[in-house]
Structure formats: structure tokens, C-alpha cells
Amino acid sequence: MRRFLWILIAVCLPALLGFWLNAEQAAPNEEPRYTAKNQMAKPANYREWVWLSSGFGMSYREGSNIAGDPPFDNVFVSPAAYRSFMQTGEWPDKTVMVLEVRESVSRASINKGGHFQGGQIGMEVHVKDSNRFPGKWAFFGFDGKSETGTLIPTSASCYSCHEQNGAVDTTFVQFYPTLLEVAKRKGTLKANYEGQR
């Protein structure tokens, strides 16, 4: 029996170590990377990250009316941050969330009704990096096909809006149905969050 156990360990251990090393090597690609000019490098392969939700024509201002075909918003989060949130209901340090804005197309190809997503028209990143930013979280805007994003000043309305309205920390978990349920179970919704159903 002992010999069988040693053979099993000898066969399985290298495979487990290889899996663990590959997982450890993949993690740095998910962490925020910055340039010497305090810009943020575009997260590599973010479309392969965990998709949280899509919005269509969303606006946070009363009476807003988006003319024409409103855009789609897609939100992706780094896989390690997602796994941590699923366990704790909170975002770990180095969380990276990507908001990708795409044009809405209604009449193209064989489509005769409804809307589908077209080309990318914008991108913002919401990042938690407590060693780098006094408020822990920061926003970066990416123009066009730029590989680097510019830090959005803390005086911008996105900071106060997220601080005031975010269901968990400064994030709009209320728009991510799966995560909202996790936050409810873990008791991590902000005390002043009013959107509970």
C-alpha cells in the first residue's frame, strides 16, 4: 500500500506543480501595470476575463435622452478578483474592472430588428490599488485604440458618483446580478445602499 502511495505521489506531484506554476505565472497579467508617466497599460486579453454584465443605453442622469442608437456597455473583471469576490463578497487589492463601450447597430447584415454590438468607441478602467491611490480606487480613460490610459482626476464626477451609489465599496455591483446575490449573502452591501429589492 505504501509503495502504491509513493507511486501516486510521484506521478501526480509534477502535474500539480505544473498547474500551480502556470496559475501563478498567469496572475501578474491580471494586475494593473503603469508607465513611468503615471498612465495605465491597457489590460492584456481583458475580453477573456470574467464578463459581469452588459448595459444598453444606460445613463445616471435624470431626463437623459441618448439620440440614435444608444451604446452597449460591457464590464469585465480580472479572474483572480472575481474568484475572491465570490468567496468574500469584497474586492481584493489589485482588482481591475474594464468598462468597454461599443456602438449599437440595428440594421446590418440579416438583422431586421433589435440591436447588436458594433465597434468599440471607448474604454475605462476602475482599479483598486491601495498603495498607489489615496482613495484606494482610481479611474483611467483610454482614447481610441491607445495602449495606455490616462488617470482621471479625483475631481471628476465618476469618483463621487461611485462613492455615493456603489453597492459594494465604490463599485456598481447592483448592475451585476450574480455578484449582487453574493454581496447580499456575505453581508457586504454598503449600509446606505438603497437599491435592495
Domain range annotation of the chain: 1-30, 33-186
Average pLDDT, the chain: 81
Q: What is the Cα–Cα distance from 65 to 84, expressed in whole angstroms?
A: 37
Where is 4: in which H helix or E strand? helix 2-26
CA atoms within 13 A of residue 173's CA, in its CB half-sphere = 26
Beta strand extents in 107-160 (DSSP E only): 116-128, 137-142, 148-151
State residue 27's pLDDT score.
Answer: 55
Q: Which three cell numbers stand for residue 7?
A: 507511486
Q: How confident is the model at residue 14 (pLDDT cuts 50, 70, 90)?
A: very low
**Is residue 9 predicted with pLDDT exceeding 80?**
no
Confidence band for 5, pLDDT divided at 50, 70 and 90:
very low
pLDDT at 18 over 60: no
Domain 33-186 in this protein, CATH class: alpha beta
Asked if residue 62 has pLDDT above 60, the reply is no
Nearest Cα neighbor of 99 from 154, 131, 54 is 54
According to DSSP, the residues that pair with 171 across neighbouring strands are 168
Q: What is this structure's pTM?
A: 0.77
Helix 177-186 × helix 79-88 angle, to 10°: 40
Among 11-20, 60-69, 79-88, 91-100, which stretch is predicted with the lowest mean pLDDT? 11-20
Residue that the C-alpha cell 508617466 belongs to: 37
